[in-house]
Amino acid sequence: MKRTTLLVIALGWASVAASATQYPRTFKPVDEAATQPDFLAFRTRLQAAIARHDVSALLEVVDPGIKNSFGGNDGIEEFRERWRPDDPDSEIWKELGTVLALGGSFDGPTNFTAPYTFSRWPHEIESFESIAVIGADVRIRSRPEPNGPVVSSVSYVILPLDNDTVTGNEAWTAVKFDGRTAFISTRYVRSPIDYRARFTYSGGRWRMNFFLAGD
């Protein structure tokens, strides 16, 4: 094969790689739950239990060997110790409720993973360096404050994080937009390595067999 041909091929692959990580990249919500009515009914019941902070109903769907972290602290007792669902201030209701509200997708007929920001994250985009915008017409501002000048607005996209900029305020996330630092309300973004859950059908029932964050 001639050198010029090899060069053209190399440039072509480089172009494909560059376009694969071009920002902002469209990343629309996905929710396949309705494709399996039995899972949809299960999830609806679980969401209702979460809304009323029903500890018994929650623990009923937790797999005895649930994976709680990447550190080997697995099992339902560790889950209870970690989340303390009996505590009125437990974060489990907020975290799991958010995960379920953000849809998800099936990996075969017996596994459902939520949210879509994890299950459908593009494998070629570095998860530690990017963030998903989970709303429509979300404003990007030049300063991390509600009245900061609006740079642009985006809907359901992936943006690169600006990990070198510290906002000093958890309500705002620093991103890179049009080659400069900008800020977006944290309530409208989600990291692909934030909390996620997997539900598996076994023994005639659905159970949650992992609920964790990180990588």
Domain residue limits, the chain: 33-121+193-212, 130-190
Cβ-proximal residues to 87 (8 Å cutoff; 6+ apart), any chain: none
- Topology (CATH) of 130-190: SH3 type barrels. (2.30.30)
Cβ-proximal residues to 15 (8 Å cutoff; 6+ apart), any chain: none
Q: pTM here?
A: 0.87
Return the CATH class of domain 33-121+193-212: alpha beta
CA neighbor of 51 nearest in space, from 84, 97, 105, 83? 97
Mean per-residue pLDDT, 158-170: 91
C-alpha 110/C-alpha 153 separation (Å) is 38
| Structure confidence by residue, pLDDT tens digits, 36-60 | 999 999 999 999 999 999 999 999 9
Look at residue 12 and tell me whether its pLDDT is greater than 90.
no
Q: Is the peptide bond before 64 cis (omega within 30 degrees of 0)?
A: no
